[in-house]
Amino acid sequence: MSVDCLPPVDSSPTGASARARPNYSRRRAWVLLAVHLAILAHVAQWMWGGSTLSPVEPSEATDLAEHGRLNAGAIFFLVTIASTLVFGRWFCGWACHLVALQDGCRWLLMRVGLRPRAIQLGVLGLVPLVACIYMFLGPWLYRLWQGIAVEPRVALFTEEFWATFPGVTMSVVTFVVCGFGAVYFLGSKGFCTYACPYGAIFGIADQLAPQRIRVTDACQGCGKCTVACSSNVRVHQEVRDFKAVVDPGCMKCLDCVAACPNDALYVGFGAPALWTSRRTEPPTRERANASQRWVRAALEPTFVAALFVVLLSHQQQFQLGEHGGFVAAMALGTASVAWLFRGRATRNAGPALGDELLLAGAYLFALFALRGYRPLAPLVPWIEARAPWAASLGLGEGIPLLLSLGLAGLWAYSLLLAVRLLRRSDVSLQSLALRAAGRMTPAGRVFAAAVVCVLGLTVHAAAVRGAERDAADASARARAEAELEYARGLTQLESDQLEAAERAFRAALERDPAHVGARKRLVGVYFASGRDAECARELEQALSVAPGDPDLWFLRGLLAIRGGDAAAAESAWTRALDFDASHPAIREALAALCEERGDAAGARAHRAAARPSGP
Ligand code: SF4
Ligand code: SF4
Ligand code: SF4
């Protein structure tokens, strides 16, 4: 938010302002420090004990949406949302490690004289809500759409605490991009406003919460509360218009309460923001012409649908016939929720329509290119050959979702500035002039060169990601065709058409050489047709693909028996028991061997250890 339009701020301590006011910033800093210490203690306990409570982190709730597993993170997220419905958006202000990062970066930037101003990026403000629905509702809704049931279960403990978190390299990049980058380019809560999926749901719950920042009649409209707010809320205006802060961006940090010289602000219960009536006339905005209004009206749902397509196509190829209806329903639902909970706060006007279209297109392109892109992957073998310790840094990792959302926002805004450099006589990035009075400044030249380089890298990333997705699609298609051939082979096997079955299993292996089922069945076909040499050759190949498959070891034993080598058979079957200790056919075969050599006790023991064979 800009602090333009503020009344002149009176800095003289009046009687009321001279009182000792609680320092909520300091209290918040202590609470955030305690949160980080608790996280460190949790990590230490896991490293020490090997098993621990699953991460208490909202992102873990994706496991509930995708696999029906209720873990500690999902419970924490649900409890936090429920408490936000009553107390407002407290988690963001008091418990989020990313708010600590953004506040810390803002504080450092202000120490060097930079006060980041909030930038309005129009339709990109929908990104957090789309990301939230994609992460936490999408998988669940898609299963409902497909009629697939998932058995819910509780999974509170884990041995793989770090499995869902990025490695060192991506963590450092996240720190820089979501901290300094987002704060400097987009404002003090840049990541929260344009990338964070949790913020979207907290913002919605906040609008239904009865507890808010409210005002008494002591307010004199001085604007000090707005100056104190690092969440870009126009506090003085909101309390004037609504007698309460209604902006869903309010994180209940209480800095405004502490800053008010008249003690006019307090935290209190009353009507939720959605139903708070306005005490003043709403500001009149210049109305766009009819065609622009239509384009704008269509832009939001179109952008939301396109964003869903880009996000979904990360996992599988988007097929219009198969996924189009689902995406259209999700986009319409999301756009409706966004409209319903758009908030009643008065904000600066957004970008012009042309700029908004450019931002939307650039964002989608960058997200497609960057998510999952592994920028250092080609260099990893070279680096690790010279510095083996670098293997622990995760240099070859792909860019994770949240980082790619943040990067795409920065990239889209940078491209917009670069285009403005070509068309406007005055352009600035925050307080840094890039072009002044029609002349490019040195900073502007550096910025333009950087944007051209990053554009080149992004195009390269898009080409790489496109090729990777094509390869993944081709391999998924080949796997699906292999499954079909395999199923055909099984049918032919059932009707004893061994030759036709062999052809089908071979065809399956041509399409997917790692298809263990087809390879196993092929071994069985050779065995049944008495082609022992081919059987042995195929069996060794199958064991190299699936060395832990007990059926393959069983077949190896059968082959050895046929060759008259009972010792080799026993050794193969004993090995098979390592992978399935109660395999009925293997136990029976071992029992038969024991009986042959007169070991009745051994035979009994094997039969007792076998699980009942299937019907
Ligand atoms: S919006 Fe997201 S990043 Fe920002 S404070 Fe809230 S949870 Fe943290
Ligand atoms: S609430 Fe307090 S700080 Fe804010 S405008 Fe009113 S008197 Fe000034
Ligand atoms: S309005 Fe007040 S409580 Fe809300 S974020 Fe701003 S300073 Fe914090």
The DSSP bridge partners found for residue 432 are: 429
What's the gap in Å between 105 CA and the centre of ligand 2?
27
Residue whose Cα lies nearest atom 6 of ligand 1: it is 92
What's the gap in Å between 409 CA and the centre of ligand 1?
16
What's the gap in Å between 226 CA and the centre of ligand 3?
8
Give the ligand 3 atom nearest the CA of 247. Answer: 1
CB 55 within 8 A of CB 120: no
For 295-341, write each residue's pLDDT tens digit.
Answer: 888 999 999 999 999 999 887 777 888 888 999 999 999 999 999 99
**Cα 40-44-47 angle, rounded to 5 deg:** 140
What's the gap in Å between 18 CA and the centre of ligand 2?
15
CB 359 within 8 A of CB 124: yes
Q: Name the pLDDT band for 285 (thresholds 50, 70, 90).
A: low
Residue 8 in this model has a pLDDT that exceeds 80:
no
Give the ligand 3 atom nearest the CA of 228. Answer: 7
What's the gap in Å between 423 CA and the centre of ligand 1?
35
What's the gap in Å between 292 CA and the centre of ligand 1?
33
Mean pLDDT rounded to a whole number for the chain: 90
pLDDT computed for residue 4 by the predictor: 44
Which ligand has the shortest distance to the CA of 198?
1
Residue 331: name the closest of 318, 343, 344 by CA. Answer: 318
Which ligand has the shortest distance to the CA of 246?
3
Name the residue of 96, 103, 230, 247 to mutate for ligand 1: max ligand atoms within 8 A of Cβ: 96
Residue 569: name the closest of 584, 554, 580 by CA. Answer: 554
For 543-568, write each residue's pLDDT tens digit.
Answer: 988 899 999 999 999 999 999 999 99
Q: What is the pTM of this model?
A: 0.81
Residue 3 in this model has a pLDDT that exceeds 60:
no
Residue spans per domain, the chain: 24-275, 441-546, 547-615
pLDDT computed for residue 287 by the predictor: 65
Q: What is the mean pLDDT of residues 82-103?
A: 95
What's the gap in Å between 117 CA and the centre of ligand 1?
18
pLDDT computed for residue 1 by the predictor: 41
For 20-35, write each residue's pLDDT tens digit.
Answer: 677 898 999 999 999 9
Give the other-Cβ count within 10 Å of 482's Cβ.
22
What's the gap in Å between 206 CA and the centre of ligand 2?
22
What's the gap in Å between 433 CA and the centre of ligand 3?
30
Residues with Cβ within 6 A of ligand 3? 213, 228-229, 231, 233, 235, 245, 250-256
For 139-167, write each residue's pLDDT tens digit.
Answer: 998 888 888 877 889 999 999 998 889 99
Which ligand has the shortest distance to the CA of 203?
1
For 324-336, write each residue's pLDDT tens digit.
Answer: 899 999 999 999 9
CB 77 within 8 A of CB 181: no
Residue 613 in this model has a pLDDT that exceeds 60:
yes
Pick from 203-217, 311-325, 530-544, 558-572: least confident: 311-325
What's the gap in Å between 376 CA and the centre of ligand 1?
29
Question: To which residue do tokens 């904000």 refer?
Answer: 347
**What's the distance, CA 441 to chain centroid?**
38
For 381-433, write each residue's pLDDT tens digit.
Answer: 999 999 999 989 999 999 999 999 999 999 999 999 999 999 999 999 999 99
**69-70 and 153-154 as β-strands: parallel, antiparallel, unpaired?**
parallel
pLDDT computed for residue 481 by the predictor: 93
DSSP output for 20-85: ----HHHHHHHHHHHHHHHHHHHHHHHHHHS-EEPP--GGGGHHHHHH-EE-HHHHHHHHHHHHHH
Residues with Cβ within 6 A of ligand 2? 215, 219-225, 235-236, 239, 259-260, 262, 264-265
Residue 171 in this model has a pLDDT that exceeds 50:
yes
Give the ligand 1 atom nearest the CA of 196. Answer: 2
CATH class of this structure's domain 441-546: mainly alpha
Name the residue of 92, 250, 252 to mutate for ligand 1: max ligand atoms within 8 A of Cβ: 92
For 513-530, write each residue's pLDDT tens digit.
Answer: 889 899 999 999 999 898
CB 509 within 8 A of CB 538: no
For 48-88, write each residue's pLDDT tens digit.
Answer: 998 999 999 999 999 999 889 999 999 999 999 999 999 99
Q: How far is CA 586 from CA 68, 261, 553, 609, in A?
A: 36, 84, 9, 10
For residue 98, give every residue at least 6 positions away whose Cβ sits within 8 Å of its Cβ, in sequence order, or none: 178, 191, 192, 196
Residue whose Cα lies nearest atom 5 of ligand 1: it is 92
pLDDT computed for residue 594 by the predictor: 93
Question: Fold identical between 441-546 and 547-615?
Answer: yes
Q: For 547-615, which CATH superfamily applies?
A: Tetratricopeptide repeat domain (1.25.40.10)
Which ligand has the shortest distance to the CA of 197?
1
Which two structure tokens, joined as six digits, stand for 170?
A: 């991506």
Helix (H) or strand (E) holding 214: strand 211-215
Between the CA atoms of 151, 154, 160 and 164, what dihedral angle is there, to the nearest 10 degrees? 70
